[in-house]
Amino acid sequence: MKKFKKISIVFLAVLLLVVFYLIITTEEVNDQMLLNIGNEDVVENINSESIIDLSQDDYKQEVSRYFSEYIKIQERDNITKNNLLEIEDKLLALKVPTEFKDLHINFILAISKMRQYLEDDDENKKKESENIITEIKLNNNWIGNI
């Protein structure tokens, strides 16, 4: 009889662990599904008519203008989240030619890091942003000069 009680207790303990595991993993799956739903909503809300399709030269001119705008704001020490979001929105509205995808992503990343600096007052984020901007200037001598 003692052996049956021990086996029953072990069985109940294992069953309880399985139930807790299922509860925890179900919550994680639900959270992940919510994140995916949110991403789909964002993608669906992007109006394809709002995306500006440009030639390579036109793209260079637009990005150069936004880059100069960003540098001027930075030099005047007048960086705000709204300024950064405005430039980022302009960049996100552009259809990027294939050869400029890395540049485009890095520019948006630099803006994002600067926004993080403003939100968290993390000097490392500001330095990372400045390093990315410096790298963009070095790798694209046309930027800011058109």
Q: What is the pLDDT of residue 137?
A: 93
What residue type is assigned to position 90 of the chain? K
- What are the CA-CA distances from residue 2 to residues 5, 7, 13, 16, 88 (Å)? 5, 9, 17, 21, 70
More confident residue, 72 or 54: 72
Averaged pLDDT for residues 19-43 = 53
More confident residue, 25 or 141: 141
More confident residue, 96 or 36: 96
